[in-house]
């Protein structure tokens, strides 16, 4: 075909489509509308108590985050007789249509950034008798699918630093709906999209353009010809079947709903209601359509707030039309949460789905999480899941991941069947262009015939629209495209498992080469999470010592659900708006207060009242050696039972899973020695500082070896302005953009029987940091107890310690460790310039090493002998005030003899992160004992708790050294039976032999073992 003719036909087609849109709604009459705006949502049952006023198109009806009820009325005109009708309402925001009983039935949403053609402003009501008076209620929220308008993070002083949103009423009409014209529009836009793939340089592209112009001729500017035109296209275009070699796409309707992100957590409930009600409505129109959704948190919220909607979902689950996805409570971050938190995500999530729906969910479904720990395969498998799905690794910026379907192997050797949908999105829009690209991109397409598509608008919810489902209909079996079928993830993975043996494997972490700033952003939420994780585990341990009937079941469950919710992958990583963190901060504070109250209650039941005594309880399976602050009424007194005291603090050594009783002595004057130079030392090590706070020397006295290769503990500030994703990103070039180092000054130094300390203050132009640097007489560990007043903009604060060590780097991950390279030999090595470590990172050769511990930090870099950590960031989007204010944290330096496996690093990290509980005015009786104690060098007793479903106790053991390790378990006399179970406590497995209340076990490297005590 002549190029000029092609151009002419293309221009004709574009103009035709623009005109065709007008024929979809040939006639309309306005709706009469009134509304009432409130600061907070008002229940349907209370809407009539509000005061209403009229509204017209073009009116601004609220400000950001407000809510409103709209009442729309109209009398059906005579000219609409026997015509298909629809409501067309666009509030300029998110909105939800309700039936007369207050049940949500359909969402009306303006637009989304993910698909410019996504437009849900129509609700079909069918034919209505002329004269009928129609009355509809809509609840609208003053934000869009992706929240409100937030300022550009490059702005210095924006007018609306926390955003704004003026919702404008666009249109509100009762319209005639011509379904045949609308379907013709779908036909033509699908063909148009296919032409983007084929172009008019191929025969298929030319033929499509020809048939389009034939269709335009048939239509002839008359909507009455729409059906005839569609029949022509069905015969000439869509009847041509896909090639026999075409792959099959298993399509599952999907709506990724962020529990908190650019909207408060409370609004995710209404987002879920809009999404779920709409998908149920679509199921009625498309009988083989299947929708799936994850996150027990959202299902529970729907149950509590929209019970009728919830029952409708349950019916569709039973019918196989709605699939419950993902074993976790929420789609949680998988870098920052502890091993036990990850297990509880499964325990709470899978139990909810089983209890509510009778579903044993076998897949872990987390398509948008920012990297996946190497310990996950074992946790996934032992939590009763066999499959894993994500697409996020496709976002990596430097290296392309080599597989789409593979076996993922963890640190213990467990393998999980894994699929990365090759559309590289969880917001697929069902176009030929997208599907064909995925088929060609699918890395196992030489021997696999099927991949999955997650189609529908997400993040802010929404899900598939009618247009998406119609496009799928056109592509079911169409020449040039993969074949389309609706299906479930369960069915897809079951078919895929038949090919598992021939699949490649990937060993180790799934590291996302992006979003590295989330290891540091919003430091307060990370601190709160770490502290709550430790507090809840300690409470469970201690409460298990008392009568199980007094166990605080509800308080622990409620607190865990709060904790698990806040581990959602945009909350804990720090990429949400300020409103999210205002709630999170309150929930963390409440959890810590409630844990302390319950610990006090347990102590009151277990211990004897003893004024002048305190019992110190250690719930760790290692001795706790460290410093405790005395109760205020004890300060200035001598203390019996402590190793040393200075009137304010004591140094204690509490045996593992045991207690120590201390007694208040006489009033005493305590003296401190003033240090003349900034040097701290004991029998193990000597630390020498400069007057500016930098660490000049770490000399190991036993090994007679200097460890430092240059000044350490320098507070380095870097420009931190990523080109996009402000809260998410730290870019590879940040180290070339150093601003300065904070100026340090030595203020004082003291020593007494408890500790030696140096006090420093550091200043930048806007911020102040104070450090209390502490060395105990009984340890080489040096603690940097830090307080910062932080008032920076786009600044990254890091500190590090250059060493002479050429060795191997290991990092703490969930119930294990991972080794990473200390060089940049390959692009894969270089991409890991900021990596996750939980409680420690260690750099060791065979004979000595040094670890950097922390109590709430995660972003490490260990390269070329330098071990460093990120402390604070100051991004401006999406929270303009992120990280501003006060911060408290501790990091610690620990030189040691031997490698990590033969050092005290793991034990010291545990001690740093969990302080013993101090029960005032009480003394533990001599016969007090824990339900279980352990003797082992390589196995840790991590958990003692009440079982979820009965009154037995659950214990969890973890091999922590990466080798086969034996353990001797000592049980209380009341324990009569011990048996294996899985992480979610569903199994009643093999019994463990007990003799004289002792059992012996051998665990494989990094193995997690869960036992039930009865």
Catalytic residues: 368
Rg (CA), the chain: 32
The label of the residue with tokens 């409470």 reads 539
- The DSSP-derived string for 506-547 is EES-B--SS-GGGGTSSHHHHHHHHHHHHHHHHHHHHHTTS-
The label of the residue with tokens 């460790």 reads 817
Q: Name the token pair of 625.
A: 């050696």
Three-state DSSP state, 569:
coil
What are the two backbone dihedrals, phi and then psi, of residue 825, each rounded to the nearest 5 degrees? -60, -40
Three-state DSSP state, 263:
coil
- What CA–CA distance (Å, rounded) separates 596 from 534? 12
What are the beta bridge partners of residue 728? Answer: none
What are the helix (H) ranges across 199-338? 203-219, 226-233, 265-285, 296-305, 307-319
Cis peptide before 878 (omega within 30 of 0): yes
What is the H or E stretch that residue 354 is in? helix 339-357
- What CA–CA distance (Å, rounded) separates 204 from 197? 10
- What CA–CA distance (Å, rounded) separates 835 from 811? 9
Q: Name the token pair of 275.
A: 């999404």
What are the two backbone dihedrals, phi and then psi, of residue 487, each rounded to the nearest 5 degrees? -165, -175
- What CA–CA distance (Å, rounded) separates 21 from 346? 48
- What CA–CA distance (Å, rounded) separates 716 from 764? 10
Three-state DSSP state, 391:
coil
What are the beta bridge partners of residue 1000? Answer: 968
What are the beta bridge partners of residue 616? Answer: 660, 918
Tally Cβ neighbours within 10 Å of residue 104.
26
Handedness of CA 908, 910, 913, 919 (dihedral sign): negative
Q: Judging by DSSP bridges, how do beta strands 94-98 and 53-54 pair with one another?
A: unpaired
Three-state DSSP state, 296:
helix
- What CA–CA distance (Å, rounded) separates 9 from 18? 14
Q: Name the token pair of 226.
A: 């729409």
What is the H or E stretch that residue 484 is in? strand 483-486
Degrees to nearest 5, angle at CA 165 with 164 and 171: 165
Cβ distance 822 to 814 under 8 Å?
no
The residues, ordered by sequence, that sit 6+ positions from 22 with a Cβ below 8 Å of its Cβ are none
């Amino acid at each position: 075909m002549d190029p000029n003719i092609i151009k002419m036909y293309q221009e004709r087609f574009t103009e035709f489509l623009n005109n065709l849109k007008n024929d979809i709604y040939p006639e309309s009459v306005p709706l009469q509308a009134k509304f009432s705006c409130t600061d907070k949502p008002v229940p349907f049952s209370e809407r009539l108590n509000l005061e209403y006023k009229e509204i017209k198109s073009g009116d601004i009806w609220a400000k950001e985050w407000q809510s409103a009820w709209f009442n729309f009325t109209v009398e059906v005109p005579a000219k609409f007789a026997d015509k298909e009708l629809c409501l067309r309402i666009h509030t300029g925001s998110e909105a939800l249509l309700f039936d007369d009983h207050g049940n949500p039935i359909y969402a009306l949403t303006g637009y989304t950034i993910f698909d410019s053609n996504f437009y849900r402003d129509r609700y079909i009501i069918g034919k209505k008798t002329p004269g009928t008076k129609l009355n509809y209620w809509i609840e609208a929220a003053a934000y869009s699918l992706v929240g409100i308008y937030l300022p550009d993070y490059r702005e210095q002083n924006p007018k609306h630093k926390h955003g704004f949103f003026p919702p404008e009423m666009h249109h509100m009409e009762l319209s005639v709906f011509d379904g045949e014209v609308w379907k013709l529009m779908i036909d033509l836009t699908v063909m148009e999209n296919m032409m983007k793939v084929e172009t008019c340089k191929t025969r298929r592209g030319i033929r499509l353009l020809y048939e389009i112009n034939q269709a335009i001729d048939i239509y002839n500017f008359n909507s009455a010809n729409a059906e005839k035109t569609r029949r022509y296209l069905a015969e000439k275009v869509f009847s041509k079947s896909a090639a026999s070699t075409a792959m099959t796409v298993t399509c599952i309707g999907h709506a990724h709903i962020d529990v908190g992100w650019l909207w408060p957590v409370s609004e995710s409930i209404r987002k879920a209601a809009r999404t779920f009600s709409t998908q149920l409505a679509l199921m009625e129109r498309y009988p083989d359509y299947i929708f799936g959704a994850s996150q027990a948190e959202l299902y529970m919220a729907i149950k509590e707030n929209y019970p009728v909607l919830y029952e409708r979902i349950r019916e569709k689950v039973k019918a196989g039309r709605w699939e419950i996805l993902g074993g976790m409570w929420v789609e949680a971050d998988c870098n920052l949460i502890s091993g036990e938190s990850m297990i509880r995500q499964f325990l709470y999530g899978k139990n909810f789905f089983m209890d509510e729906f009778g579903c044993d969910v076998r897949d872990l479904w987390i398509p948008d999480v920012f990297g996946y720990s190497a310990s996950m395969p074992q946790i996934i498998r032992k939590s009763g899941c066999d499959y894993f799905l994500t697409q996020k690794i496709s976002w990596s910026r430097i290296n392309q991941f080599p597989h789409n379907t593979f076996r993922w192997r963890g640190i213990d050797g467990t393998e999980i069947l894994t699929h990365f949908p090759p559309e590289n999105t969880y917001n697929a829009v069902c176009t030929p262009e997208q599907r064909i690209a995925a088929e060609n991109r699918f890395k196992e397409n030489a021997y696999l015939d099927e991949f999955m598509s997650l189609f529908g608008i997400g993040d802010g919810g929404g899900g598939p629209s009618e247009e998406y489902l119609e496009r799928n209909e056109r592509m079911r079996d169409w020449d040039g495209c993969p074949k389309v079928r609706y299906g479930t993830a369960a069915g897809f993975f079951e078919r895929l498992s038949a090919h598992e043996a021939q699949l490649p494997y990937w060993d180790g972490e799934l590291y996302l080469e992006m979003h590295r700033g989330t290891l540091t952003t919003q430091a307060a939420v990370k601190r709160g999470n770490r502290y709550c994780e430790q507090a809840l585990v300690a409470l469970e341990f201690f409460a298990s010592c008392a009568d199980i009937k007094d166990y605080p079941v509800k308080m622990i469950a409620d607190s865990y659900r709060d904790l698990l919710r806040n581990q959602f992958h945009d909350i804990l990583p720090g990429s949400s708006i300020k409103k999210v963190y205002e709630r999170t901060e309150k929930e963390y504070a409440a959890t810590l207060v409630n844990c302390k109250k319950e610990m006090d209650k347990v102590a009151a039941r277990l211990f004897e009242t003893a004024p002048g005594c305190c019992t110190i309880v250690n719930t760790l399976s290692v001795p706790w050696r460290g410093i405790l602050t005395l109760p205020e009424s004890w300060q200035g007194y001598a203390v019996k039972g402590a190793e040393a005291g200075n009137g304010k603090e004591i140094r204690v050594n509490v045996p593992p899973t045991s207690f120590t009783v201390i007694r208040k002595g006489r009033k005493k004057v305590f003296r401190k020695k003033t240090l003349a130079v900034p040097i701290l030392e004991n029998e193990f090590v000597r630390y020498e500082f400069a007057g500016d706070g930098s660490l000049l020397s770490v000399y190991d006295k036993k090994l007679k070896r200097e460890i430092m290769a240059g000044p350490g503990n320098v507070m380095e500030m870097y420009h931190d302005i990523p080109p996009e994703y402000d809260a998410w990103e730290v870019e590879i070039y940040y180290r070339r953009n150093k601003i300065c180092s904070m100026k340090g000054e030595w203020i004082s130094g003291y020593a007494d029987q408890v500790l030696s300390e140096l006090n420093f203050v550091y200043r930048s132009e806007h911020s102040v940091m104070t450090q209390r640097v502490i060395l105990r007489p009984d340890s080489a560990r040096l603690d940097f107890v830090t307080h910062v007043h932080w008032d920076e903009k786009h600044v990254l604060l890091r500190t590090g310690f250059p060493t002479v060590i050429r060795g191997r780097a290991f990092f703490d991950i969930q119930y294990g460790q991972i080794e990473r390279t200390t060089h940049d030999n390959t692009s894969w090595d270089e991409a890991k310039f900021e990596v996750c470590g939980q409680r420690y990172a260690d750099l060791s050769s065979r004979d000595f090493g040094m670890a950097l511990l922390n109590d709430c930090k995660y972003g490490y870099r260990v390269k070329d002998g330098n071990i460093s950590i990120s402390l604070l960031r100051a991004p401006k989007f999406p929270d303009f005030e992120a990280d501003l204010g006060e911060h408290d944290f501790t990091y610690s330096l620990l030189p040691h003899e031997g490698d990590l496996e033969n050092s005290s690093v793991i034990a010291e990290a545990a001690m740093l992160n969990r302080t013993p509980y101090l029960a005032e005015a009480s003394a533990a009786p001599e016969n007090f004992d824990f339900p279980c104690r352990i003797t082992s060098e390589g196995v840790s007793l991590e958990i003692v708790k009440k079982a979820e479903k009965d009154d037995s106790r659950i214990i969890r053991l973890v091999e922590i050294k990466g080798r086969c390790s034996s353990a001797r378990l000592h049980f209380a006399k009341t324990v009569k039976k011990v048996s294996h179970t899985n992480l979610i406590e569903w199994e009643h497995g093999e019994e463990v032999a007990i003799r004289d209340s002792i059992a012996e076990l051998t665990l494989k490297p990094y193995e997690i073992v869960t036992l039930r005590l009865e």
